[in-house]
Amino acid sequence: MRKWHRWLSVFFAIVMIWVAVTGLLHYVVVWWPTAEPSPAALAALEPPPGFVCPEGWRCIAPRPDTGNPLAQYLGLFHHLHAGSEGGIWGEIIVMLSGLALVFFTVSGMWMYFQMWAGRKARGLKKKVFWK
């Protein structure tokens, strides 16, 4: 188990760091302090009278300008985090890194339990954490 844990961690550590950093950047953008949009800015976003979105189109109302200089990067960080920017292979790698996270959690707990049981069987310290 330790051999698999060690070898898989070499590759997936890089991917997991990537996912962690892009996730943090995503939340930096989301939680960045912003000002409330002015009534004039909100009024400018209203569609003209009688506007109807053409059939087959997806019309999205623009976001009001709240003074967040990073707001333009929100979609990019989300796509980088999800692996979408890497196409199908990026999404597969991100999905496998999620599965690797589960594997590392289970195998790490299994190895810890084996070490703890071995120490207990040899009559060494019976503490949960040891040096």
- Domain assignment present for residue 50? The answer is no
> Is 64 inside a domain boundary?
no
In a domain, 57, yes or no: no
Residue 114 lies in a domain: yes
Does the residue 48 lie in any domain?
Answer: no
What is the rounded average pLDDT of the residues 67-76? 78
And the tokens for 8?
């898989």
Number of domains present in the structure of the chain: 1
pLDDT of residue 131: 58
Amino acid at 130: W
Amino acid 89: pLDDT:
92
Q: Mean pLDDT over all residues of the chain?
A: 80
Sign of the torsion angle spanned by Cα atoms 62, 63, 65, 69: negative
Among residues 80, 103, 106, 107, the alpha carbon closest in space to that of 15 is found at: 80
Is there a domain that residue 92 lies in?
yes
The answer, yes or no, to whether residue 27 has pLDDT greater than 80, is yes
CA pair distance 120, 10, nearest whole angstrom: 31
Q: In the Cβ-directed half-sphere of 15, how many Cα atoms lie within 13 Å?
A: 21
**Residue with the larger pLDDT of the pair 35 and 84:** 84
Q: Which domain, by its residues, includes 97?
A: 1-32+69-131
